[in-house]
A and B are shown apart, each in its own frame.
Chain A
Amino acid sequence: MTAYSTIGKSIPKIDVKEKVTGRALYAADLKMPGMLYGKIVRCLDHAHARVLKLDLSVAAKMPGVVKVLGPDDIKAHSYNTGVLDLMVPEPVGKMLGDIEDQTVFTKHVKHQGDAICGIIAHSEEAAERAAEKVIVEYEPLPVYLTAEESMQPDAVQFTSLKPGNRAFQLPGEMFPNNAYGWGNVDEAMAAADFVVEDTFYVPKQKQCQMEPHAYIALFDDGGRLQCWTSTQMPKCVHIKLARMFDLPMSRVTVTQTVIGGGFGARLGMIGEPLACAMAMAVPGRPVKVLYTREEDWIASESRHPGKYWMKIGFSKDGAPVAVDALFRSYKGGYYTQGSGVAFTTGSWLGGMYKWGSCRYHGETYYTNHAPCGAYRGYGNPQTNFVMEQLVERACSKLGVDPVEWRKKWHKGVGDDGWCPGVTYPSCALDECLDRGAAAIGWTEKRAKYANQTGVKRRGVGVSVMNHTSGAFPMLLEHTTCTARLNEDATAEIMLACSDMGQGAHTALQQIAAEALGFRFEDIHIKAGDSDSNGFDIGAHASRTIYVGGAAVKSACEDARKELFARAAQYLECTVEQLTMRDKIIYLEGASNRSISAQEICARGVYNFVDAASGQRTGIPGQIQGYSSFLPTSNSPPFAACFAEVEIDTETGELTLIELVNAHDVGKAIHPASVEGNLEGGAQQGMGFALTEEIYYDKNGLCLNNSFTDYKMLGPSDMPKLTTILVENPDPLGPFGAKSAGEAGIVAPIGAVANAVFHALGIQIIEAPITAEKILEAIKKNGGV
C-alpha cells in the first residue's frame, strides 16, 4: 500500500465551518446594491393550454413595479436546458436530434408551472402583488399523462420538430432497428430454456435538493451579462447563456454560489435563462429571482417515469442468453435530456451481466408533466428495479442462490462495460457480494425466512449495479486545471469543477496536496468563476474525482516538474537525484545540499537584476502548472446491496430493517465523504423503491408538491445502515479512485424489491412499492 500524506484521510472538509454557522452564501443569501426582484408568473391551473390573451396592463401599474415582460418582449433564442448538445460532435448531435424547444415565456403551456410572463419590481412582495393582477385567458388543450396517450395520431403536437410527440428514440443511423445491443436476440430467446418477462412501471421521482433554485442576474453598464447561480455546470451555462443572448463568452460571467444539493436538479440550466432575460430588460440593475419550493417542484426537472418492458432468456445452467428491453418514458413538456436518459438506461443494462445477446430500445414521448431531466443515476435506478427483479425471478426458477448467480454472471475485468468496446479495468464486485452477504447474515436469513407463516413476514434481497466514472467515451470529457504556485510555496488550484455538497473540493484539494507534495493547508481551490476557470464540462456522470481529480493531478505534476527542474539547476544536479520532504528539496545522499520550495517560488516571482553583476538573482517566472485533461479511460464502480424488510401482510405496511451497501470505490480519497454520498444515495434509492412519486390528477395538476405530501424517508424511517467501502485501487483512476457520487442510489432499489419478493413470494412490478400495492398484490395472489 502506498503511504499517502492526505489521500485516504477523512480530514475536516474545507467548507464545513461556514456551513455549520450558516454563513456559507447560497444564491438566495446574496443581496446587491440597487437590486430588483423578478417574479415568474406561471400557469397553475392548466397542464396543457394555449394562451389566448395576456394582459399585463394592470400589473404594470401596480406600486413598485419596474417592468412587466411577456413572451414578445424577450429577445433571446429558444434553448434546451440540457447539455447533451454540447457533449457530442455535430453529426452525432444531428442523429440524436436534440432540439431547443424552450422559450423564456411561452404561449403554449405544456405543463403546470410553465412560465407565462415576468414582473420586475422593487421588492419581492410588490412583484408578487403585481403577479396576481396579470390577466391570462387560456384555451385548455387535451392533457396527456402517458406516452400511450400523447402518441395517438390525433394528439396535439408539442413541437413540429417531433412528429407523433416522440421526443426521442435511439437513432436508426447509429443503431440498426433503433436498438442498442449485440447478437441475435430473437434466435437466442427462441432457443432459451426459459424466459422471464414483465412490464414494470418506474416513478417520477423528485431530487428534492434542499436549496430551492435561486439566481441573481445583471446586465452591467459595461455590456456584460453576469449570473450568480448554484448550477452544477457553470461552464455549460456560460456558453449556453452566451448563445441564447447572442453575446460573446467574454461578455458573460457565471459565478457559482454554494450549492445546496444537486442530484441532477442543477444539471444544465434551470432558471438562468429567465433570470438573465429579466436582467437584460433592466440594464444596470441586478435582478434576483427566487423559486418558491412549490415552483421548484412543479417547474423544475425530475426523473423520467414510464413503462419498462424486459424479457430475459436463460439456459438451464443459468446462462443469461438473451435480454430484450424497451423503456418508454414520459418526457414531460420539454425535450431537455431526452436523448441521454433514454440511452443510458440501456447502457447500465448491457454493462451488468454477461448477456449472450442484448437488445434495448429506448424512447421517450412528450407528456404534460414537468419536464424530466437528470436525476442521480440517470436511468440506472429504473434499470435496477426491472432487471434485478427479473433476475431474481429467474434465480428462484433455477433454484440457485441469487448471490451465487450474480457472482457467476456479472461482468468484470476485461469485459465490455456500459459502452461496448470499452472494457472494465477493475472490478471488486465479488468482494462486495461476499462482504455484504456476511454483514447482513445472508445465508442464515435466506434459510430462516424461507417458509414463514403468520402475519409478519421478513425477507432479504440482493441487488448489484455498475455505474460510470465520467462519460468517456460516449460524451465529451474534458477538465482544465491551472496550478499556480504562490511565492510562499502555497498553491492556487483553479478549475470549474463543482462541489454540490459531495465533498468534491476537499477531495480535489487532497489530490493537489498529494501530487504537489505540499501540505493540505497549503492549497486553495478556486472554482465557480467562469472568468478565471478554464473549461470543465460540469458535474455529471460521477466524473468530478475521476476526471477532475486527474486534471488536478496532472496540473500539479506539471508544476512540480518545473519546481524540481529549477531545484536541479540551483543544486547543480539532475532531477532524478532530488527528493522533497516538508517542502525542502534535497539532493539525495547529501543532506547539506538543499533548497526550499519557498525559495524557488519566491525567487521566481521577486526576481531582480543584481546591480553589480548585471545577472538575475535566480530563475525567473512564477511557476504555473496546467492541464487540459481529456481522459482516455473509464473505470466504472460496482456495488452489491442487501436489504432486509418486514411486511405486515394484513396492512401491507413495510418496515425497513437493515440495508448493507458494499461499494467497489477503487480508492476512497476522503472516506467519510464517500460514505456520506453512499448513505444519502441509499435514502434516495429506498425512497424510489418504496415511497417517492410525484402524482398528478387527471388534468395534470400536481397532487403532492410539498414535503408533507411527497414522502421521503425521514430519520426514523431509515433502517440500520451499513456502508462498506471495498478498496481495490483502480489502475487508471487518480490515486486509484473510481466514482461514488451517484452510485449509492442504484442498488438499494433492487435489493429492497427483492427483499419484498423473498418475504412474500410476490413481485411488485410498479414502483414505489406502497402498502396499497402490497395488499392488492397479496389479494390478487389469493393470499400469501
Chain B
Amino acid sequence: MKKCEITLTVNGEQLTTMVAANQTLLEVLRENLGMTETKYGCGTGECGACTVLLDGTKPILSCLTLAAAMDGRHITTAAGLARDGQLHPVQQAFVDESGIQCGFCTPGMVMKTVGILARTPNPSDEEIRHGLEGNICRCTGYAKIVSSVKRAAELMADQSAAE
C-alpha cells in the first residue's frame, strides 16, 4: 500500500507521520501516535466511541475518516481537552454528575458534548438527546449523561461570563 506523509495538529501539537491511503484517523491516532484515549467500539461509524473534534468544535467519527484527508487539520482528543491537569468544563460536568461508568464511551461522549454546546449553548433536554444520538452508552441509560451535558452548559456559561 502506498504511504504518504501527513502533518496533523493534535491537541495543539504538530505531528508528522507516514500513513497508508486506507488508514483511518482512528488507527493513526491510536497506533502511529500512541494516543489511545480515542476508542474503537465498532470501526463502522455506529457507536461514537471514536469521536474526536475537528477544528476545535466539530465532532467527527475518526473510524470513518481517512487520515490522509486530515493532512494539515487540527484534531482534538479527550486527553487534549484537559489542560495542565485541569479538566475542561465538559469533562468536569461528567465527573460532577456521575455521567461515567465503565468510561469506554466517555471520551466520545465528551467530544460530542463539546460539539452540541458549540452549536446550542443552552440546549433543551430534547436537543441534548437528539445531539447525543449516534453515541452509544450501554452503562448509564443516558440519564446521567444528559444531566452531565446540562451541567456542562452551565459550567461553560459560567466560564464565558468570567472571561
Contacts and interface: CB of A to CB of B under 8 A. Distances in A.
A718 B126 CA distance: 11
Given A19-B102, A683-B141, A714-B133, 6 more contacts: A22-B106, A208-B136, A293-B41, A293-B47, A500-B102, A684-B138
Interface in B92-107: 94-96, 98, 100-107
Contacts of A292: 43
Nearest to B106: A19
B136 A707 contact: yes
Contact of B142 (A26, A259, A672, A718): A718
Contacts of B34: 31
B98 A676 contact: yes
A36 to B, nearest CB: 14
Contact of A211 (B36, B39, B79, B143): B39
Given A21-B81, A715-B133, A502 B95 contact: no
Interface stretch (A10-18, A181-189, A340-348, A400-408): A10-18
A652 interface: no
Contacts of B66: none
A712 B139 CA distance: 12
Given A28-B40, A706-B46, A718-B143, A22 B136 contact: no
B8 interface: no
A291 B147 CA distance: 33
B38 A21 contact: no
B145 interface: yes
A675 B147 CA distance: 13
B142 A211 contact: no
A10 B102 contact: no
Interface string B42-66: 1110110100000000000000000
B53 to A, nearest CB: 13
Nearest to A24: B103
Contacts of B43: 292-293
Interface string B122-155: 0000101110110111111111111000000000
Given A10-B98, A707-B46, A20 B141 contact: no
B24 interface: no
Nearest to B38: A22
Contacts of A15: 103
B41 A676 contact: no
A33 to B, nearest CB: 13
B82 interface: yes
B87 interface: yes
A712 B40 CA distance: 19
A103 interface: no
Nearest to A710: B46
A284 interface: no
B93 to A, nearest CB: 9
A299 to B, nearest CB: 15
Contact of B95 (A20, A210, A676, A681): A20
B37 A22 contact: yes
B51 to A, nearest CB: 11
A288 to B, nearest CB: 11
Interface of B: 30, 34, 36-44, 46-47, 49, 77-79, 81-82, 87, 91, 94-96, 98, 100-107, 110, 126, 128-130, 132-133, 135-146
A12 B100 CA distance: 10
Nearest to A20: B91
B104 A712 contact: no
Nearest to A499: B102
Which 7 A-B pairs have CB atoms at the shortest separation, nearest pair first? A22-B37, A501-B102, A19-B103, A260-B104, A679-B141, A22-B107, A29-B36
B127 to A, nearest CB: 10
A350 interface: no
Interface size class of A (residues with CB under 8 A): 35 or more
Q: Is the interface of A mostly helix, strand, loop or mixed?
A: loop
A209 B102 CA distance: 9
B98 A707 contact: no
A627 B58 CA distance: 52
Contacts of B81: 21
A25 interface: yes
Given A210-B137, A261-B138, A707 B101 contact: no
Interface of A: 10, 12-13, 15-26, 28-29, 31, 207-212, 258-263, 292-293, 500-503, 672-673, 675-677, 679-684, 706-708, 712, 714-716, 718, 721, 723
A676 B82 contact: no
A286 to B, nearest CB: 16
A211 B91 contact: no
7 contacts: A13-B100, A20-B110, A259-B102, A262-B102, A680-B101, A680-B140, A723-B143
B3 to A, nearest CB: 12
Nearest to B91: A20
Contacts of A19: 100, 102-103, 106
Contact of A21 (B78, B101, B130, B142): B78
Given A21-B87, A260-B103, A212 B40 contact: yes
Contacts of A683: 138, 140-142
A410 to B, nearest CB: 25
Contacts of A500: 102
B2 to A, nearest CB: 14
A708 B46 contact: yes
A54 to B, nearest CB: 28
Contacts of B130: 715-716
B47 to A, nearest CB: 5
A25 B138 contact: no
A260 B146 CA distance: 20
Nearest to A681: B141
Nearest to A31: B34
Contact of B129 (A210, A673, A708, A715): A715
Contacts of B38: 22
A22 B26 CA distance: 14
Contact of B101 (A29, A503, A718): A503
Given A22-B78, A715-B129, A672 B139 contact: no
B140 to A, nearest CB: 5
A204 to B, nearest CB: 17
Nearest to B130: A716
Contact of B79 (A13, A21, A26): A21
A680 B139 contact: yes
Nearest to A707: B46
B77 to A, nearest CB: 7
Given A714-B136, A721-B143, A210 B105 contact: yes
Contacts of A293: 41-44, 47
A13 B98 contact: yes
Contact of B141 (A26, A261, A718): A718
Contact of A712 (B100, B136, B146): B136
B108 to A, nearest CB: 9
Residue of A13, A18, A679 with most chain B CB atoms under a 10 A cut-off = A679
B101 A20 contact: no
Nearest to A670: B98
B134 to A, nearest CB: 8
Nearest to B20: A125
Contacts of A715: 128-130, 132-133, 135, 142, 145-146
B142 A20 contact: no
A24 B101 CA distance: 12
Nearest to A259: B102
A706 B145 contact: no
A210 B41 contact: yes
Nearest to A258: B103
A22 B39 contact: yes
A13 B94 CA distance: 11
A261 B102 contact: yes
A742 B102 CA distance: 15
Nearest to B31: A124
Nearest to A18: B103
A16 B140 contact: no
A680 B106 contact: no
B143 A210 contact: no
A315 to B, nearest CB: 40
B139 A261 contact: yes
